Amino acid sequence: MTAIRETHFQLPGQTAFYRGKVRDVYSIGQPQDLLVMVASDRISAFDHILPRAIPHKGAVLNQLAAHFLEATRDICPNWLIGTPDPNVAVGHRCEPLRIEMVIRGYLAGHAARSYAAGLRSLCGVAMPEGMRENDAFPEPIITPSTKAEEGHDEDISRAEILARGLASEEDYVQMEAYTRALFRRGTEMAAARGLILVDTKYEFGKKDGKVVLMDEIHTPDSSRYFYAEAYAERQAAGEKQRQLSKEFVREWLMANGFQGKEGQQMPDMPDAFVQEISDRYIELFEIVTGKTFVRDTSEDPAGRIEGNILRALRELA
Per-residue pLDDT, 49:
92
The mean pLDDT of 232-258, rounded to a whole number, is 92
Residue 275 or residue 246, greater confidence: 275
Residue 290 lies in a domain: no
Q: pLDDT band for position 204 (50/70/90)?
A: very high
Tell me if 236 is assigned to some domain. yes
Torsion of CA 183, 156, 100, 198, to 10 degrees: -30
Average pLDDT over residues 253-265: 94
Residues 246 and 220: beta-carbon distance below 8 Å: yes
* Confidence (pLDDT) at 272: 95
pLDDT at 151: 55
pLDDT band of 13, cuts 50, 70, 90: very high
Do the Cβ atoms of 289 and 67 come closer than 8 Å? yes
Domain-located, residue 88: no
Expressed in percent and rounded to 5, the helix, strand and coil fractions of the chain are 30, 25, 40
Would you say residue 125 has pLDDT above 80? yes
Q: Which domain holds residue 154?
A: 95-249
Beta-ladder partners of 214? 203
Q: What residues form DSSP beta bridges with 121? A: 126
Residue 225: band (very low, low, confident or very high) from pLDDT cuts 50, 70, 90: very high
Q: Rounded to the nearest 5°, which phi and psi values hold at 113?
A: -65, -40
Q: pLDDT tens digits for 147-177?
A: 766 556 799 999 999 999 999 999 999 999 9
For 143-146, the CB contacts below 8 A with 24+ separation are 143/102, 143/103, 143/104, 143/111, 144/99, 144/100, 144/101, 144/102, 145/99, 145/100, 145/102, 145/201, 146/98, 146/99, 146/100
pLDDT exceeds cutoff 90 at 252 = yes
The letter for the amino acid at 139 is: E
Of the chain, the percentage scoring pLDDT greater than 70 comes to 98
121 falls within a domain: yes
- Please tell me what DSSP assigns to residue 124: T
The CATH number linked to 140 is 3.30.470.20
Query: Which comes out higher in pLDDT, residue 148 or 262?
Result: 262
Task: Quick: pLDDT tens for 84-111.
Answer: 999 999 999 999 999 999 999 999 999 9
- Classify residue 27: in a domain, yes or no: no
The answer as to whether 230 is a domain residue is yes
Q: How confident is the model at residue 31 (pLDDT cuts 50, 70, 90)?
A: confident
- DSSP state at residue 136: E
* CA dihedral of residues 259, 242, 153, 34 (deg, nearest 10): 130
d(CA 223, CA 103): 10
Q: What is the pTM of this model?
A: 0.88
Mean pLDDT of 189-218: 95
Please tell me the total count of domains within the chain. 1
Mean pLDDT of 278-288: 91
Q: In what order do the strands lie in the sheet with 80-85?
A: 14-19, 23-28, 34-39, 88-92, 80-85
Q: Does the residue 72 lie in any domain?
A: no
Average pLDDT, the chain: 94
Does residue 53 lie within any of the structural domains? no
